[in-house]
Amino acid sequence: MRPHPTQSRRASTARWAPPTLLLVLAVSGSRGATPTHAPVIAAPGVANPAHIAAGGLPPPGPVVRNPYRGDAAVARAGAKLFVSMHCSDCHADAAAGAVGPNLGDGRWRYGASDAAVFRSIYFGRPRGMPAFGGMLGAQGVWVLVTYLRSLPPPSDLPTERFTRH
Amino acid sequence: MAGFLAIAAIASATIASAAAGSAPVGAPADGEWPMPAGDYAATRYSPLDQIDPANAPRLHPVWSFSTGVLGGHEGQPLVVGDTMFVVTPWPNVLYAFDLSRAGYPLKWKYRPNVSRAAIGAACCDVVNRGAVYADGKIIYNLLDGHTVAVDAATGHLVWETKIASVADGETVTMAPLVIGNRVIVGASGGEFGIYGWIKGLDLATGRVVWTGHNLGPDAGMLIRAGEFHPPYVSGTQLGLRSWAGDSWKHGGAPVWGWISYDPKRDLLYYGTGNAGPYDAEQRAGDNRWSSSVLARRPEDGTLVWAYQFTPHDSWDYDATGAMILANLTIGGKRVPALVHFDKNGFAYTLDRSTGRVLVAKPFTHLTWAKSIDLATGRPVMNPAMQTGDTKGDVKGICPSLEGGVSPASPGAYSPRTHLFYTSTNNFCMDYTVHRIAYIKGTPYMGVSSPYTPGPGGYLGAFIAWDATTGRVVWKDEEPYPSWSGALVTAGNVAFYGTLDGWFKAVDARTGKLLYRFKVGSGVVGAPIAFRGPDGRQYVAIYAGIGGDWALLAGDTLSADPTDLRAPNPLVNNLASRTSQGGMVWIFGL
């Protein structure tokens, strides 16, 4: 499940709203862009070869920005949300890894960008990461992203040394 | 051992007719291992005696096989005729090895399409505790809430039944048991706020015949008029009135361990897991029947008695460990006993007809209670160890929530030595909980619980236990928590494995180490013994660290470059001795 481009842009700028409202906005994002028309399904035939480039070059899309990037106060709020939304019960205190992977090691299964982390939390991931977008809305998810991005990756993790010389 | 022999006799009389269809399959023919604990009584005792303390030092590996799967390899293989069956952790591959041919090649393998989503709903790694053989079928559970029956000869699916709902936090890791026409199954999810249950399926079709909840209203628990006789308590709606408000609805009490069965009394026995959430103040009351043993009729699930080991569980003390049935002499009297090593650190000897406690003594260091009052059946609690959201950080609780023994590590009983054998743990915890809301499909926990070593300078031990007096007879200390199941044989050899990857044979009378071999990954499975088609005795064991240790020693995981974990302070050098793996080993003389 990939976020519809319009939906993501709206999501990134949405003000806080009750979760159900945000969920409606999220699933009806295309209507937000063209309110009076049904979505237009693109005809076969690709105008821009970059859209089908092999090797994983992504098509140009909207820039999904974290509105709180680097905001320490939001990161602190996110640390609380990480506990109250049960994230810590699966990812451990300080996101150090338990049922779900370590989220503080600076390494990411699904991409290191804020947008990728947002997608993981908003839509869930297949190996048992629940989707929280419906409950938290985009704003809540960005708060969590900001918290996770604030965790300093330990500098010495790639090497685990068991002997002292 | 009249009772034990009676069970064996009934069982072997029926095994021959099992192929005919509806007849129950019982204890193994001498030398087979057709059910999780070897027999209905869950003794994990093998009548084979070729391997003995004199020749055990000559044991050596004769075969090994990589399952191709990582994750905690709990449980045990089965051996039926000349075939060995192995179930892996998720994705729950089933292998059938031909023991009659050199190198034991596969006859077939079965690969179910198990949902990936179940991985996140499994509290403690994607383990599976094994299969059961009956009526020509291998029956086992898939993590994503299905029970499957596979033709033991061909590997083709016979039936598949959805028994549990991953969306509601239910996953299935337990080892089923077949009793008569019933396949007995249960679900994990004590960490996900489930409404715990056990089910009886029809052996021929997989149809769910009955579902008995472990808590809540009497009707849902299959309490039938005049048939429920718990020792120590009486009255109706005990599973409802012992929970504040409707907290029972997400109260947990899962079934993720083992089932045993007494044919003479026609009672099946199983333990239930912890109550949820971990904040006990959100569920005032005894919280029956979480952390309990329940006795039911296999045919229709009728609840006959129940006894709660840890009322108002405030420490995650599941009682899902094995219920071992043996006839013991206590104070000069023969008693039909049920022996259980609980996570809470007490070993209980109950009368399995009534559920009354005969003996209850600590088998490891504990601080949460002083003793068990035999008159009331209740623990004499240490008030300083009560936890809850108003209690702050409660320090020095022993055992930890991993248990004085893990329920994943079933013990064994030898009618030769009259002793029980089990892995044990020796570490404690500090415990902080916070109030928590129920969010479907996410953990209903809210706990932080760092561990500290127990006294004595060791973290685990393999012990021999006298259940008639409640006393440790001998103890083999281990540097790490001891997490494997136990096996004991008529040759007076006991077997277990260690978290740092040693497979060990010890003298069942003294605990003396006879043989050890490094099997490549930590052992969290349970050994079995069988007689091969060549007439010789073998012992099989899984290697493959995991289960809780996939979470606790995250630095033993190496397969995902995007998931690096720091060592656990309790066992900070465990990863220097073991890493994940998945191997089946066979040892012989």
On whether the CB atoms of residues B174 and B270 are closer than 8 A, the answer is: no
Residue-wise pLDDT for A31-43, tens only, equals: 334 445 666 665 5
Mean pLDDT value across residues B5-19: 37
What are B163's two structure tokens?
Answer: 């028994």
Active-site residue (options: B144, B316, B466, B507): B316
Is residue B274 flagged as an active site residue? Answer: yes
Poorest-confidence range of A25-39, B137-151, B439-453? A25-39
Structural domains in chain A, sorted by start: 1-35 (no CATH), 72-150 (1.10.760.10)
Q: Indicate if the pLDDT at residue B150 is higher than 60.
A: yes
Active site residue B316: yes
Out of B118, B124, B560, name the one closest to residue A101 (CB).
B560
Residue from B250, B442, B572 whose CB has the most chain A CBs within 10 Å, to mutate = B442
CB atoms B434 and A83 under 8 Å: yes
Query: How does residue A23 score in pLDDT terms, banded at 50, 70 and 90?
Result: very low
Q: List pLDDT tens digits, range A125-137.
A: 999 999 999 999 9
Question: B2-588 maps to which CATH number?
Answer: 2.140.10.10
More confident residue, B480 or B17: B480
DSSP state of B136: T
Chain A closest-CA separation from residue B545 CA (Å)? 15
CA distance B259 to B185: 9
B249 — phi, psi (to 5°)?
-60, -30
Residue numbers in A near B117 (CB within 8 A): 126-128
Q: Note the pLDDT tens digit of each residue in B186-224.
A: 999 999 999 999 999 999 999 999 999 999 999 999 999
Q: What ipTM does this complex have?
A: 0.91
Q: Do A128 and B118 touch (CB under 8 A)?
A: yes
Residue A2 clears pLDDT 70, i.e. is over it: no
Is residue A118 a contact partner of residue A71, using CB atoms and an 8 Å limit?
no
Question: Looking at the complex, does the CB of residue B29 fall below 8 Å from at least one CB of chain A?
Answer: no
Q: What's the whole-number average pLDDT of chain B? A: 95
Does the annotation mark B191 as catalytic? Answer: yes
pLDDT digits (tens, 9 = 90+) for B164-185: 999 999 999 999 999 999 999 9
Q: Give yes or no for residue B6 having a pLDDT over 60.
A: no
Mean pLDDT of B417-432: 98
Residue showing tokens 């239910």: B170
Chain A residue with Cα closest to B125: A99
pLDDT at A45 > cutoff 90: no
Using an 8 Å Cβ cutoff, are B199 and B285 in contact?
Answer: no
pLDDT of A164 reads 75
Is a pLDDT exceeding 50 seen at residue A22?
no
Is B186 within 8 Å of chain A by CB? Answer: no
- Pick from B194, B323, B345, B352: nearest CA to B257: B323
CB contact under 8 A, A160 and B567: yes
Partner-chain contact B565 A89, CB within 8 Å: no
Beta carbons within 10 angstroms of residue B371's beta carbon: 11
Which residue among A89, A90, A107 places its CB closest to the CB of B446? A89
Q: How many residues comprise chain B?
A: 589
In this complex, the residue of B121, B123, B564 whose CB is nearest that of residue A157 is: B564
Tell me the pLDDT tens digit for each residue of B85-132. Answer: 999 999 999 999 999 999 999 999 999 999 999 999 999 999 999 999
Is B120 strand, coil or helix? helix
pLDDT average, residue stretch B319-343:
98
Token pair listed for B116: 């990936």
Could you give the angle at the alpha carbon of B502 between the alpha carbons of B501 and B508, nearest 5°? 140
**Rounded Cα distance, B397 and B560, in Å:** 34
Q: Residue B29 — pLDDT band, cuts 50, 70, 90? A: low
Q: Mind listing the pLDDT tens digit for each residue in A69-123?
A: 999 999 999 999 999 999 999 999 999 999 999 999 999 999 999 999 999 999 9
Cβ of B551 and A128 within 8 Å? no
Cβ contacts from A onto B, under 8 A: 86
For B269-292, what is the mean pLDDT? 98
- CB proximity B168 to A under 8 Å: no
Average pLDDT on B529-541 reads 97
Q: Does B562 touch chain A (CB under 8 A)?
A: yes
Residues B295-320: what's their mean pLDDT? 98
Q: Any chain B CB within 8 A of the CB of A130?
A: yes
Q: Which residue of B has its CA nearest to A124?
A: B117
Element (H, E) at B550: helix B548-552
- Cβ distance B116 to A126 less than 8 Å, yes or no, reads yes
Confidence band for A64, pLDDT divided at 50, 70 and 90: confident
Scanning B34-191, the segments in alpha helix (DSSP H) are: 118-121
Which residues, including other chains, have CB under 8 Å from residue B365's CB and lie 6 or more apart? B345, B398, B399, B404, B426, B428, B454, B455, B456
Q: Which residue has the tokens 């083709």?
A: B156
pLDDT at A144 (0 to 100): 98
CB contact, 8 Å: A8 with chain B?
no
Answer yes or no: are the C-beta atoms of B151 and B107 closer than 8 Å.
no
Q: What is the pLDDT of residue B262?
A: 98
Average pLDDT rounded to a whole number, residues B414-442: 97
CB atoms within 10 A of CB B61: 13
Of B141, B274, B425, B568, catalytic: B274
Work out the pLDDT band at A3, boundaries 50, 70, 90.
Answer: very low
Q: What is the mean pLDDT of the segment spanning B414-421?
A: 98
The pTM is what? 0.90
Residue B539 has pLDDT above 60, yes or no: yes
Of A86, A100, A107, the CB nearest to B564: A107
Interchain proximity B565–A105, CB inside 8 Å = yes
Which residues of chain A lie closer than 8 angstroms to B441, CB-CB?
A: 130
Residue B212, strand partner residues: B198
Tell me whether residues A130 and B567 touch, CB distance under 8 A. Answer: no
> Is the per-residue pLDDT at B233 higher than 90?
yes
Given an 8 Å threshold on Cβ–Cβ distance, is B116 in contact with A135?
A: no
Q: Give the pLDDT of residue A60.
A: 61
| pLDDT value at residue A42 | 55
The answer to whether B49 and B66 have CB atoms below 8 angstroms apart is no
Give percent above pLDDT 70 in chain B: 95
In this structure, are residues B117 and B165 in contact, taking their beta carbons and an 8 Å threshold?
A: no
Q: Which residues of A117-142 are buried (b: 16+ CB within 10 A; e: fewer)?
A: bbbbbbbbbebbbbbbbbbbbbbbbb
Q: What is the pLDDT confidence band of residue A56, given thresholds at 50, 70 and 90?
A: low
A100 contact B CB<8A: yes
- pLDDT reading at B366 higher than 70: yes
Q: Kindly state whether A151 is in contact with chain B, defined as any CB-CB distance less than 8 angstroms.
A: no
CA distance B177 to chain A (A): 28
**Active-site residue, selected from the candidate residues B191, B313, B402, B555:** B191
